Amino acid sequence: MTTVPLPTAETRWRCTLCGNLTRFDVTRSSKVVEYVHLDLAGEPKVEEREVVSETIESVRCRWCNAVDQIELVDRPGAAS
């Protein structure tokens, strides 16, 4: 399994098969620490969440279902 790089302020994802730039299904694994507050009825509410680590396992194009065809490209107007 190869991890997919995260987009940055200067880059975004693009499907190399169909050119999609806007619709993706992202599968990620996260390790988080949460502060959970239970009200008197026992209903939980997450009040704080800290992401300790996160890995994107796959990104699938919503238009053509391609999984291993996602690349990073420059965002329009991003300073190179």
pLDDT tens by residue, 3-31: 678 899 999 999 999 999 999 999 999 99
Q: What's the rounded mean pLDDT across residues 32-43?
A: 96
- Strand partners of residue 26: 59
For 35, other C-beta atoms within 10 Å of its C-beta total 10
Q: What are the tokens at 39? A: 């009200």
Q: What is the pLDDT of residue 3?
A: 67
Short-list 54, 56, 36, CA closest to 46: 36
Q: Is the pLDDT confidence value at 79 over 70?
A: no
Q: What are the tokens at 74? A: 């420059």
Burial of 7 (0-12, 13-18, 19+ CB in 10 A): middle
